[in-house]
Structure 1
């Protein structure tokens, strides 16, 4: 039985998922019994297409690559153009909404509205968008549960690396006392290059050239991106939602080559660490550069790679290392959630 999806937002992440479907669709059908059928794609800039009998993944990608617009997707009988996002979610016959719009950590919109609309319409949701999970997890999870619906959010913390499933499923039975991790690849790349002798300014410029850092890198280098991921971990893994105002935050812009050398002399290495700690009063959270002992697994994580360490009562420290961003990596996160919905619903 096909899983019918509507993709809301057709940027890097949405296209990454469709590329995987184009390249591995037959393998997924044979290996996992998962037949994904794209019935709609809607993007505020690129346009909107819907066909109840399904859209062709290859043609969707060709339209974007050739003109940057879904307006060039080939005409066919039954094809509908021009629906807005809410209509696409509410009025098409998709089973699952793939919410892949831009992240807004101030309001969570438009993604919160999209997900709320989907749940009211009786549809499952998968998303890599941090905003709704960081800001409205309790409300949206309650809506999903009330409707017997599933909400896949694996890609919101470490892209396709299963950081959330590790904490919520694989470590079930353990009490997780703390979580700490390298949750932003841009800052880790910059600090790695500073270890190699570059200044902060030089390392940032290189990160921007390679596409790791935005033209305005504030969200990364000042710790806001990592802070948003801490909000998600607090809500999902600790079942203790917190707000951004409850997180102590410091970025890496003040670090100098002298600081790097000082850490090296002590057998340590600077990393931007996002950390949650259970306390008698609830949860303590902070994002800040820390000097990590070279013997710790987090110290060996270099470049744009991410890592997370769960501190547990039964296993001690468990560390997971993997990519935290990327087109196909995040596309895979959405696919893994679709597979989970397929398994549970089968």
Structure 2
């Protein structure tokens, strides 16, 4: 039996959902995937930190209603979060980094990833900051320490757009993409099509948990810009930074704009895109656009996401799926762990041969 010790950095919705998946599915994973997960540490700004080399009961973590600093009541626990100690000292094989995204410099998540890789530990993360702002450095650090830096969930949550494009579309000649990469803005536009004003639509998105208390990153396109950077750099060989991507959100759209588009056979969508020019440059942008109703992205409704890849051999290949949600994003972490396990199994077989 293969067992991976895992440390959770951040215990909000995503890593809490991952712990729930561990509690419910470990026995099935052992049979179906060939490994189990053993949570040996957790660190969280609100709850504190805990390190337990023998493992922490995943179901207890999920079901206990801890107060602020509540990890202090656990053996090996403290009321204070100590992310660096947990990352460097916990006997973990894998660090699951699921803290908040900082679009300016990626911190503290970049440091979390750096500490883990320097310590010879794999990293799986859903955090856009380290991937958009420091991927090259972190990939180099991972290779130097013979570990993996995985981040499938940084673009479309559990929908595997990165691996699909890199592996399934390998050789198809991906020349660009355009996509609906933010479920909150897509939900807001859909509600405006039903007659809600912008502010009321945002408020409804907040009530349903789609939008944060401060929805700026979603509705002004900043979240999409980070995802465009990630996709362009990963799939088109770019070296873009967020400031290289022009960005306009949806807050300037009015009900009159929405209604006029509908009468003329169009729908407004917030689109992030990037394309290779004939000269080898990458042109990238985020902006609201009027799409004809027969466009492959026009029918993507609610909080769903979609990306349409432009390929030389197949034309447009469109992938649609959930771009948010705790379970969906936790699945992205699991898919990264599966990739680590598969790579490890391949290495072991080669060494045995």
State TM-score, norm by structure 2.
0.93
Matches within 5 A, 1:59-78: 59-63=60-64, 65-67=65-67, 69-71=69-71, 74-75=74-75
Deviation at 1:266, TM superposition (A): 2.3
Matches within 5 A, 1:196-235: 196-235=194-233
Matches within 5 A, 1:92-131: 92-131=90-129
Aligned to 1:261: 259
Aligned to 1:289: 288
Aligned to 2:177: 179
CA contact (8 A) 1:190 1:204 kept: yes
Per-residue Cα deviation, 1:101-157 (whole angstroms, up to 9, x for no partner): 111010111111111111111111000000000001111111112222111100000
Question: CA, structure 1 residues 96+66, in 2 after alignment: closer, same or farther (shift >3 Å)?
Answer: closer
Q: Give the Cα–Cα distance (whole angstroms) in 2 for the partners of residues 60 and 117 of structure 1.
A: 25
Count of matched residue pairs: 342
Deviation at 1:321, TM superposition (A): 0.6
Aligned to 1:323: 322
Q: Give the Cα–Cα distance (whole angstroms) in 1 for the partners of residues 117 and 241 of structure 2.
A: 24
Q: Give the Cα–Cα distance (whole angstroms) in 1 for the partners of residues 262 and 183 of structure 2.
A: 21
SS at match of 2:236: coil
Larger RCO, structure (CA 8 Å, separation 6 or more): 1
SS at match of 1:298: coil
CA contact (8 A) 1:3 1:342 kept: no
After alignment, is 310-319 or 256-265 more displaced?
256-265
Q: Give the Cα–Cα distance (whole angstroms) in 2 for the partners of residues 312 and 85 of structure 1.
A: 42
Deviation at 1:68, TM superposition (A): 5.3
Deviation at 1:66, TM superposition (A): 4.6
Q: Give the Cα–Cα distance (whole angstroms) in 2 for the partners of residues 206 and 263 of structure 1.
A: 23
Q: Give the Cα–Cα distance (whole angstroms) in 1 for the partners of residues 26 and 296 of structure 2.
A: 36
Q: Give the Cα–Cα distance (whole angstroms) in 2 for the partners of residues 32 and 171 of structure 1.
A: 24
Question: CA, structure 1 residues 53+254, in 2 after alignment: closer, same or farther (shift >3 Å)?
Answer: same
Per-residue Cα deviation, 1:173-224 (whole angstroms, up to 9, x for no partner): 1211111100000110011111112121221121122121122211111100
Deviation at 1:265, TM superposition (A): 2.3
After alignment, is 221-230 or 205-214 more displaced?
205-214
CA contact (8 A) 1:60 1:73 kept: no
SS at match of 2:251: coil
Q: Which runs of 5+ in 2 are unaligned?
A: 346-353
Q: Give yes or no for the alignment of 1:49 onto 2:20.
A: no
Aligned to 2:28: 27
Deviation at 1:49, TM superposition (A): 0.9
Deviation at 1:251, TM superposition (A): 0.6
Aligned to 1:11: 12
Q: Give the Cα–Cα distance (whole angstroms) in 2 for the partners of residues 87 and 74 of structure 1.
A: 17
Q: Give yes or no for the alignment of 1:90 onto 2:84.
A: no
RMSD (Å), alpha carbons: 1.4
